[in-house]
Amino acid sequence: MTNQRVAHVRRETSESSIDLSLDLDGTGTSSIDTSVPFYDHMLTAFSKHSLIDLTVKASGDTEIDVHHTVEDIGIVLGQAIREALGDKAGIARFGDAMVPLDEALVQAVVDVSGRPFLVHTGEPTGFEHHLIGGHFTGSMVRHVFEAITFNAGLTVHITVLGGRDPHHIAEAEFKAFARALRQAVALDARVSGIPSTKGAL
């Protein structure tokens, strides 16, 4: 019987309060309350399509900007993924997904490498300045993936191949990342030990 791959992480700063738990071997059940509605929508989609059970309760100085709360949740999510993965024995390690959302199309590739690296390209000019839902700046999408990638120890390539509507582009990015991560963290019965010639990830 495989050990449970779960994590519970809390983070308290003068800017935000985060309480997050996850189960890598879940069914995509989530309870998300970040105090940032569009981010709730993105994390709910992430949970659903990664099949990671996710609970997030967060608050922060959103009267100033959503930046601190959104970034801190990304940091904690990355830390929780890393903790839940443990020594990474038996995982598939690599994942690749391409996800459309109407006119938007995004590819995400994930390597649970232990070496944090993000390549993020293709968002249309001006996307970073757009207020999605009136409060979530487009630039925060990349910032979330930076926070997750660097704290989880992942190599991630996200490429926006097409898209016009900022909501569609952002959502396709989260869904593509979720599907690729789902493949990468999945346990593979044919993998013996750590899936690396170095013997460690």
Residue 7, pLDDT above cutoff 70: yes
Residue 169 has pLDDT above 60, yes or no: yes
> Predicted confidence band at 114 (pLDDT cuts at 50, 70, 90)?
very high
Beta bridge partners of 160: 106
Rounded CA Rg of the chain: 16
Name residues whose C-beta falls within 8 Å of residue 118's C-beta, 6 or more positions apart in sequence.
142, 145, 146, 149, 150, 155, 156, 157, 158
Q: Which phi and psi angles does 158 have, rounded to 5°?
A: -120, 125
pLDDT band for position 134 (cuts 50, 70, 90): confident
Is the pLDDT at 39 greater than 60, yes or no? yes
Judge whether 83 lies within some domain.
yes
Residue 179 · residue 50 · CB < 8 Å? yes
Rounded Cα gap, residues 200 and 133, in angstroms: 42
- Considering the domain boundaries, does residue 192 fall inside one? no
Residue 75 scores a pLDDT above 60: yes
- Is 190 a member of any domain? no
What average pLDDT does range 2-21 have in this prediction?
A: 93
CATH number of the domain encompassing residue 171: 3.30.230.40
- Domain enclosing residue 142, as ranges: 6-185
Which amino acid is residue 140, in one-letter code? M
The arithmetic mean of pLDDT across residues 179-201, rounded, is 93
Q: Does residue 87 form part of some domain? A: yes
At 156, the pLDDT band (50, 70, 90 cuts) reads very high
Whether residue 97 lies inside any domain: the answer is yes
- Helix intervals (H) in the chain: 37-50, 67-85, 139-152, 166-185
Percent of the chain with pLDDT over 90: 93
Look at residue 174 and tell me if it is in a domain. yes
What per-residue confidence (pLDDT) applies to 2? 54
Residue 21 predicted with pLDDT over 90: yes
Residue 150 lies in a domain: yes
Helix (H) or strand (E) holding 111: strand 104-111
- In this predicted structure, the answer to whether residue 76 has a pLDDT above a threshold of 50 is yes
- Tokens for 191, please give them: 């993998």
**What was the pLDDT predicted at 1?**
40
Predicted pLDDT at 133: 87
Number of domains into which the chain is organized: 1
pTM of the entire structure? 0.96
Check whether 113 has a pLDDT greater than 90. Answer: yes
Residues 6 or more apart whose Cβ sits within 8 Å of residue 64 = none
Six token digits for residue 80 = 């929780």
The answer to whether residue 68 sits within a structural domain is yes
Q: Could you report the per-residue pLDDT of 88-102, keeping only the tens digit for each? A: 999 999 999 999 999
Mean pLDDT for the stretch of residues 163-176: 98
In whole angstroms, what is the distance from residue 92 CA to residue 113 CA?
Answer: 11
